[in-house]
Structure 1
């Protein structure tokens, strides 16, 4: 981990030497020397990091190097902060001369610390490791973490019976696959599944079955590869791994079996077997069962955790003993009491995955510890925070955000991060941590002085000792990142022990829904003391509406999120935040009843990559909001054509996502849409609302013809005279929303020919009486939403139409009498939602109703009347 911190510090200092050369002045030479000294330490860190688990002195040495790297970054950034606030004054003023002397003195102190650390290298036997020489250390470390087994059959196997049969079938009968991989996070039961008796017997009954348990790296496979005649025999290889990339590397055509967590019922069944519950307090005794169910939920469906818990409970024979285990369950699970020899604690099983991470992924993983338990983490938000913090940067032509997405994918492939939801093109939209993986994350984050999380509760609220919430913790000397969870009734946002945390880089707030309005006075420390902040997340914060002028002090901010907050008015001093990369001003404006007030200073933030304007706003000091200087913008949302100069958009040639509204007419857009259009040539996503005039078919054709080849998402709000032919649409269109189109011709025959369309939303789109989905239409459509077709009476779906449809929603089509008969042929449909439709329509779809046969294959059916759900 120290390697990652040192690498980030070197990157940051290097950037400052380039970007802030004017401010650094003569200090730049000292900073360069400091950078050189830190770079020398890098090659020693690989040896030290590999050996720190076995030697406390080396562990302390690594921690000191980590702190020196942090201090070096702090010193340089603090100096720039002082000079920025004296901007315009002579470099020879007493204030600037004093700041220069101070930073020079601090740099000398840091170099002295590095010299002392270097002298101790020989004492500890630490030697420099060059790039590529460190694989031996990682391999040896993993060897110590691995468990060895004789061929012992696990009798109590829950949740794997069907999977075992499936694997046996694949191994015995399936000829297409020679390598079968079992993937999943540590402790899920991959090894147990692989060593069941039936699989073991196949080695004797068939040609040969080779089991490779817990294969970690591609290098390990390369060393074993010559022993396996893949493609030349009928032998089978069964391997278990936590890294999906390893599985596909062994054989790109291999079948990969991903192991899932147990359900709550399966978890309870396994716990009963492992705890060896006697009849006196088994399933028949409600008190014991309720307590056992509570405890097993803490295991999150992870078999190794349930086994550890069961082994402990097997030694406890009274209800009082069980209650004591429940109160201390988290510490018991981490230590693995009762199963030390077999598992060494759940944390140790999971920690082996952490130790195996490349150094650049460790801070990315630890950063996830900011988020509360069971929190669905928006991946865009997470990745932009990584970039803002500097723990991810661009690499050889890849943008920093592309690198961040690759890192997140690797954490998912390594089964350390779970996928929450994916978007319509398959990208991960939200992710989360398993509860026990989060415990490991917080433990390592605290150990590495990386992150602190604190839960502020009302002083009268008792906190159960068994709570799985983040504990209230003692602050560390130099906190770099802080997550604060606010409960109902708290009277302050930041506890006094954190108010002087001047080294803070990230500050994230999370709150209970019941938290009341908060005054900015409570956040004074943020502006007065946290001047090195790069990430400030106030999403959803119920804060008084005027953002303080003191925001100007946070000149190092890269990420400021005020989405859904009660903030409404921005001061002009926000223009001082010239380093911002991400600015989200999507305030909570009470459903459009209020307007945001923003100053005309955003143009000063030339490094902005993502800008989300308020949905409704006024501009202080100008008629139009100036945006022409924001050449780095990739995302620009909620552009009000009445308040922004549309001509400015022509200059934003890096835009990939644009959302505009309140456009009076299509003529108004021609200034940016005229051929050749630099905007449309770069856009991948366009959300466009045109008020007033109807948009003619020829104008739509022109709009589509100018679009980038990879343009995949369009949201168009305008009255349309007619849709153009399907081959006029962008060829790779995946998501399409047409609202307020008021078409009189059925749009389905045209839209059904779009070859890649997966998501189609049609609110207020059609004013005709009939729609028809033709044979083989909508070949890839997965999501279809139809609403407010006021005259629709009949819908036909022909055979083989919509063969991939997963979700269908119909809303407020009052004249539609029944679902089309052809819907019963759409066998892929798994979710049907009918909202605010006539009671007669709803009754036909209930069990026993006239149309139930059309939807009986659907997994989830929701029938919503105007005020209730059936």
Structure 2
């Protein structure tokens, strides 16, 4: 199933939403919207056949692109209707009722829908031209659909790493780290992408023998695009125990000062520093002076695709070049991935085809893991189809695995495709928190409540499925053995970005990008290594749904730019500012009626504008500031809010009716106060509470309210100066 099918299915879910019906009625376009819904349902019947043909036929590919664009047009009209009705509702009942007399906006909406209908008619008529008119009825669910989902739900979650082969290499590398020369040696693991460099190195890093040998250790992901200052700051925080004041000083240090601080600290320690995914000699030059050589057996370990980089870092140490898996090792890994949680391994009737499929992976662990995840739970007939589908070869000494990765992406059920493509938003080697990712998926509308399952629980199920398919790597578990954090392999990330860009689902820009996004693109991610290059330019599309900015260090966003950012995209659902230093949120933030996710980190905010209460659809509000943040009383109007999070000491002013926010699950980093009276105990869906108490009266209010919070899983209480 293609991403276009997913886009159409998500659009149909939106059209069926009861919340939309009132707005459609007010604009008098009910019949037109019903016609759109019926036509998009018909299109679904043709998309699966078109998807199978578009790889080899540019005309069919164009037809699928036309369907995607008209689906985007329809979504834009629907969201614009919702935006205007919500704005009218904010201005009062009298103004709201006047919509019946406002012929111009109603005529504009009707005209837009008529233009969409004309496009749909043209698309339907063109099916015969593209040779996709004669197909079976109904696209249905792919072969990996509901039965496979149910099977996965009964399977245990896979281990973080299925370590196969390399036992001898592991033993040898442990010896290199803990024995031998006293000088500071660089131990390098070299190999192409997908060979398992990071998996092997992580196994070493976590080995008890290694951990006990060193006084201090840190794991740093470098990647192609990096900030030396940010990497050194990370090393400082992971190696040293710092007070709040010291942390603030570290944030202000330049590269030279940070290098000196790290070096001075490590001189007294036998240390192990791991630099994962080092690409260039320049990157090593930026970091090497932080790692002193005091002849005490300290080690630096690095993974790289470039043997020249490894030899440059330490000409006296021979890099360990990672080999491909043997046939039997490949088969062992394949069985672990394909028959997860099942005794007996591969059934006899599947073994011949399975071994033929594994042979095509040429011993590359990533390819084996991904194809194993793809085949989990499939029938014998589907194994044969997949065996015939795999065609790839060695290119210039490396293996081209795009065929296998693409095959696994295409096999995803429709509801997982946008979830996977969304991972392209994150920077390379970024370790993302599961709960953050799931909240973003929810804000984008990728998740729907199922029965008694919450959005968050549905999202956990989706993420688990991606992990089990080896499309996402599990990094850490939480206390209940669920998924805490993950990452995506850079080859799979490249695939997600490529597929997302082609479908106008997502565009990623770096320091050298920073151009207006392509017309009609729905999501824009900006990854900045040089914060000085942050400039938000005039958008070429007013229909952007998500803006995500990741800045290494801290990027200052001027007041005028922040006003433009917020005022330029009225249909925005996600505004994610990580490392973007803003001193004030403009009052225009309240105009983003569709906003469901707002994150601001590393800011200097002192207050939130009262207009933030207009964000009636907001689900997640996360603010990290170096100051105490005053929260206006209007926060109580945000009835859809599920997660309200501050770094610390969020000051809730007045006596807002937080008890009206019945969906609230997370309330973190807030200061106790009068707002608790008659309110806190009514937040009966609260699962996480982190609160600061500094008066005896507040302590008494808190103790009375806490007994009513029956769903609470996590509680953190900081008491200060209560006598």
Shift of residue 602 of structure 1? 0.5
Q: Distance in 2 between matches of 1:246 and 1:451?
A: 24
Name 1:559's counterpart in structure 2.
597
3-state SS of the aligned residue for 1:47? Answer: helix
Distance 1:585 1:108 in 2: 43
Query: Does the CA contact (< 8 Å) of 1:631 and 1:653 recur in 2?
Result: yes
TM-superposed deviation, 1:576: 1.0
- Residue in 2 that maps onto 1:281: none
Q: CA–CA distance in 1 between the matches of 2:642 and 2:558?
A: 30
Q: Which residue in 2 is equivalent to 1:312?
A: 396
Listed one character per residue, the Cα deviations across residues 607-627 of structure 1 (whole Å, up to 9, x for unaligned) are 1111114633445xx533441
Matched, 1:353 2:408: yes
1:538 aligns with 2:574: no
- Per the TM alignment, residue 164 of structure 1 is displaced from its structure 2 partner at its CA by 12
Q: Note closer, same or farther for the CA distance 1:409–1:243 as it changes in structure 2 (3 Å cut).
A: farther
Aligned residue in 2 for 1:79: 81
Displacement of 1:528: 2.5
Match 2:683 to one of 635, 649, 652: 652
Q: CA contact under 8 A between 1:612 and 1:637: conserved in structure 2?
A: yes
1:632 aligned counterpart, secondary structure: coil
* CA offset digits 1:565-584 (Å, max 9, x no partner): 22222111111110001111
Aligned to 1:518: 557
Alignment partners' CA distance in 2, 1:410 and 1:5: 20
C-alpha deviation, 1:419, in angstroms: 2.0
**Among residues 604, 617, 640, which one is paired with 1:607 in the alignment?**
640
Deviations along 1:643-693, one digit per CA (max 9) or x if unpaired, are 5223202221111112222164454334324xxx431x2111222234566
Q: Is 1:10 aligned to 2:23, yes or no?
A: no
Alpha-carbon distance between aligned partners in 2 of 1:446 and 1:246, rounded to the nearest angstrom: 23
Distance 1:14 1:70 in 2: 16
Residue in 2 that maps onto 1:146: none
Offset of residue 636 of structure 1: 1.1
Q: Which residue of 2 aligns with 1:125?
A: 132
Relative to 1, partners in 2 of residues 1:356 and 1:393: Cα closer, same or farther, differing over 3 Å? same
Q: Any residues of structure 2 matched to 1:780-795 within 5 Å, and which?
A: none
Change (3 A) 1:409 1:24: farther
Contact 2:602 2:626 in 1 (8 A): yes
Q: Secondary structure at the match of 1:108?
A: helix
> What 5-or-longer segments of structure 1 have no aligned partner?
138-158, 167-184, 201-209, 219-223, 230-235, 252-303, 314-335, 337-342, 458-470, 590-594, 695-870
Aligned-residue offset at 1:369 = 0.7
Q: Find the aligned partners of 1:440 and 1:245 in 2 and give their Cα distance.
A: 17
Change beyond 3 A, Cα 1:130–1:389: same
The CA deviation string for residues 596-643 of structure 1, in whole angstroms up to 9 with x for no partner, is 222210110001111114633445xx5334412111111111232225
2:530 is matched with 488
**In the alignment, is the contact (CA less than 8 A) between 1:2 and 1:62 conserved in 2?**
yes
SS at match of 2:630: strand
1:43 CA drift (Å): 2.1
Which residue of 655, 659, 678 maps to 2:708?
Answer: 678
Rate the CA distance shift 1:41–1:554 in 2: closer, same or farther, 3 A.
same
SS of match in other structure, 2:659: coil
Residue of structure 2 equivalent to 1:59: 61
Deviates more, 1:377-386 or 1:346-355: 346-355
Aligned residue for 1:350, secondary structure, equals helix
Change (3 A) 1:95 1:554: farther
> For structure 1, which segment, 394-403 or 58-67, has the greater mean C-alpha deviation from structure 2 after superposition?
394-403
Deviations 1:756-788 (CA, angstroms, capped at 9, x unpaired): xxxxxxxxxxxxxxxxxxxxxxxxxxxxxxxxx
Aligned partners of 1:64, 1:373: CA distance in 2, in Å? 31
**How many angstroms does 1:349 deviate by?**
3.5
Is 1:39 the equivalent of 2:78?
no
Aligned to 2:419: 364
State the Cα deviation string for residues 207-242 of structure 1 (Å, max 9, x = none): xxx998999799xxxxx968479xxxxxx9997653
Alpha-carbon distance between aligned partners in 2 of 1:94 and 1:18, rounded to the nearest angstrom: 17
Gaps in structure 2 of 5+ consecutive residues: 146-163, 172-192, 200-322, 341-345, 359-367, 380-390
Q: Distance in 2 between matches of 1:525 and 1:449?
A: 23
Q: In the alignment, is the contact (CA less than 8 A) between 2:48 and 2:139 conserved in 1?
A: no
Superposed displacement of residue 90, structure 1: 5.3
For residue 68 of structure 1, the aligned residue among 42, 66, 70 is: 70
Cα deviation code 1:7-55 (max 9, x no counterpart): 1111122226457548745233432332222122222212222222122
Residue matched to 2:612: 574
Cα distance change, pair 136–601 in 1 and its aligned pair in 2 (3 A)? closer
- 1:628 aligns with 659
The aligned residue for residue 623 of structure 2 is: 585
What pairs up with 1:435-514 in 2 under 5 angstroms? 435-457=490-512, 475-488=517-530, 490=532, 492-496=534-538, 499-513=539-553
Which structure has more relative contact order (CA 8 Å, sep 6+)? It is 2
Is contact 1:451-1:481 (8 Å) kept?
yes
Q: Please say if residues 212 and 238 of structure 1, whose CA atoms lie closer than 8 Å, have aligned partners that are also in contact.
A: no
Q: 1:637 to 1:646 in 2, by over 3 A?
A: farther
Q: For residue 154 of structure 2, what is the aligned residue in structure 1?
A: none
Mapped to 1, the partners of 2:459 and 2:371 lie a distance apart of 18
Q: 1:521 to 1:626 in 2, by over 3 A?
A: same
Partner of 1:401: 456
Q: 1:27 aligns with which of 26, 29, 34?
A: 29
Equivalences for residues 377-396 of structure 1 within 5 A: 377-396=432-451
Equivalent position of 1:116 in the other structure: 122
Indicate whether 1:662 and 2:700 are aligned. Answer: no
Supply the distance in 2 between the matched residues of 1:480 and 1:199 (Cα, whole angstroms): 40
For 1:30 and 1:386, the matched residues in 2 are separated by: 29
- Whether 2:111 is the aligned partner of 1:105: answer yes
Deviation at 1:473, TM superposition (A): 7.3
Mark the CA change 1:186 to 1:129 in structure 2 (over 3 Å): closer, same or farther: farther
- Which of residues 614, 629, 638 is equivalent to 2:669? 638
Q: Secondary structure at the match of 2:49?
A: helix
Length-normalised TM-score, structure 2: 0.65
Q: Point out the structure with the larger helix share.
A: 2
Kept after mapping to 1: 8 A contact 2:338/2:372: no
Q: Does the aligned pair in 2 maintain the 1:492–1:522 contact within 8 Å? A: no
CA deviation vs aligned residue, 1:265-287 (integer Å, no higher than 9, x gap): xxxxxxxxxxxxxxxxxxxxxxx
CA distance 1:519–1:407, shift in 2 (3 Å)? same
Count how many residue pairs are aligned between Structure 1 and Structure 2. 524
Q: Give me the whole-angstrom Cα distance separating, in 1, the residues matched to 2:548 and 2:14.
A: 22
**For 1:14 and 1:42, how far apart are their aligned partners in 2?**
16
2:716 corresponds to which of 681, 687, 708 = 687
- Say whether the 8 Å CA contact 1:186–1:353 is kept in structure 2: no
Counterpart for residue 154 of structure 1: none
1:385-430 per-position Cα deviation (integer Å, ceiling 9, x unaligned): 1110112222343222212111111111111212232223322222
The answer on whether the counterparts of 2:5 and 2:47 sit within 8 Å (CA) in structure 1 is yes
Would the alpha carbon gap of residues 15 and 568 (structure 1) be closer, same or farther in structure 2, given more than 3 Å must change? Answer: farther
User: How far apart are the structure 2 equivalents of 1:670 and 1:512?
Assistant: 42
Q: Is the 8 A contact 1:81 1:555 kept in 2?
A: yes
Equivalent position of 1:723 in the other structure: none
Give the structure 1 partner of residue 470 of structure 2.
Answer: 415
Q: What secondary structure, in the 3-state scheme, does the structure 2 residue paired with 1:606 have?
A: coil
Tell me the distance in 2 between the aligned counterparts of 1:389 and 1:212: 34
